[in-house]
Structure 1
Amino acid sequence: MSEVVVCQTFGGLPWTPQYVEEINKEVCLGCGRCVKLCVQECLGLESFEDDEGTERYVAKIVNKDQCVGCRSCGKICVRHAYSFKAKLA
């Protein structure tokens, strides 16, 4: 049976990383706050044309393997477009 990966904080307290699993593109505003915040460069923006022909942007996971599970992207997201998942050992 697999167990959830548990790390430690600097002070030695247990901490379970929650890795970015998905971004709800229906909810995302494409503001880019999460992209600027992610020091691991896991995120990017992709453009698309909406039904009215206007160019819009949404956040996109571009390098999931770099994610450290800090959840900062989800915390800064005003629309709560992020979902996270713990990793099994």
Structure 2
Amino acid sequence: MSGPFASRDGSSWMPDYLTAIDGKTCIGCGRCFKVCSRGVMHLYGVDDEGEILGLCAEGEDDDFDGELNRMIMVVDQAGACIGCGACARVCPKNCQTHVAASQLVAA
């Protein structure tokens, strides 16, 4: 094994943690949210100026008093990410930033 991370069979593996989602390119499709078993990101409402209005509650149709322009995914629980990369594989816009565990300092 060449590093501190290993898969179940002992082979070397480097987690790539989700650190950000580009709100300008994210289309809010929710694919990343659906494959994430850790609740790392959630859907947020955005107004015409690109300002985040708040968390969109699941199953509710909140338009934020008419201010809602679109929805985007936001990384709001980054510490829960295990670096599996499932979200990156399903994102149609490639709008996520992932950083190798070896490049991050534990907080």
Question: One-letter code of the match for 1:58?
Answer: I
Give 1 or 2 for the bigger CA radius of gyration: 2
Task: Give per-residue Cα distances to partners, 1:17-37, cap 9 Å, x unaligned.
Answer: 010121111110000111111
Which sections of structure 2, spanning at least 5 residues, go unmatched? Answer: 50-66
Question: One-letter code of the match for 1:19?
Answer: Y
1:67 is the counterpart of 2:81: yes
Question: One-letter code of the match for 1:25?
Answer: G
* TM-score of the two chains, using structure 2 as the length reference: 0.70
State the number of aligned residues: 84
Which sections of structure 1, spanning at least 5 residues, go unmatched? Answer: none
Q: Distance in 1 between matches of 2:87 and 2:72?
A: 13
8 Å CA contact retained: 2:28, 2:72: yes
* TM-score of the two chains, using structure 1 as the length reference: 0.83
Cα RMSD between the aligned structures?
1.8
* 1:38 paired residue among 15, 36, 39: 36
Question: One-letter code of the match for 1:47?
Answer: G
4+ aligned runs moved over 6 Å, structure 1: none
Identical-residue share of aligned pairs (%): 26
